Amino acid sequence: MGFERFGTVSYTAQTKVDKFVDLLDEGKVAGTRCRNCGTAFFPPRADCYGCLSSDMEWFEISGPGELVSFSTLFYAPTGFEDDLPYIIAVVRFGDLQIFGRTSKEIEEEEMEIGMALEVMPVRLEGGKISYEFRKV
C-alpha cells in the first residue's frame, strides 16, 4: 500500500515519498533532509528545490515544538465537512515549521501562541493514517 492511506481524503495513490506512510505506521512522523545542502522538508520531499539534489535522508520529528499560529475552521473543503469544527496549526520544531491539525482533545480556549505541542501519528477511519498535534 502507498500514499492512498494518508489523510482523510487522498488525492494520490503513489508518490516518491511513500515511506512517509510506512513511518507513520511505525509510530514516527518524519521529514526529509537534503544530504547535499542540509535543507529540511515537511511535508517530506524526494528532491531538494534549493540545490536540485535527489540525495535525501529521512529524519524523525520529535520532542516538543512551539505553537506559532492556529485557526479554528468552521468551513471545510470537500471531504472534510463532517470534521467541522477543527483547529489547524503551525508548530515550530527547531528550524522546521509543520502545518497540521490539533487533537480534538485540545479546546480552542486552551490554545496559546508559544505553547508546547508534539506531533504524533493518528489512525483514522477506514484504515487511513495521518498526524496531529497534541499537548506535551
- Would you call the peptide bond into 43 cis, given omega within 30 degrees of 0 as the criterion? yes
Q: Which three cell numbers stand for residue 117?
A: 505541542
Cα–Cα distance, 33 to 55 (Å, whole number): 9
* Burial class of residue 48, CB neighbours in 10 A (0-12, 13-18, 19+): buried
pLDDT at 59: 97
pLDDT exceeding 90 applies to what percent of the chain? 69
CB 80 within 8 A of CB 11: no
Q: Where are the domains of the chain?
A: 3-135
CA dihedral 28, 65, 5, 42 (to 10 degrees): -100
Taking only the tens place, the pLDDT of each residue in 63-77 is: 999 999 999 999 877
Q: What is the pLDDT of residues 4-48, one digit of tens each?
A: 565 555 555 566 778 998 999 999 999 999 999 999 999 999 999
Q: Which amino acid is at 59?
A: F
How much is the pLDDT for 2?
A: 66
Tallying the residues shown for the chain, one arrives at 136
What's the pLDDT score for residue 3?
A: 59
What is the reported pLDDT for 28? 96
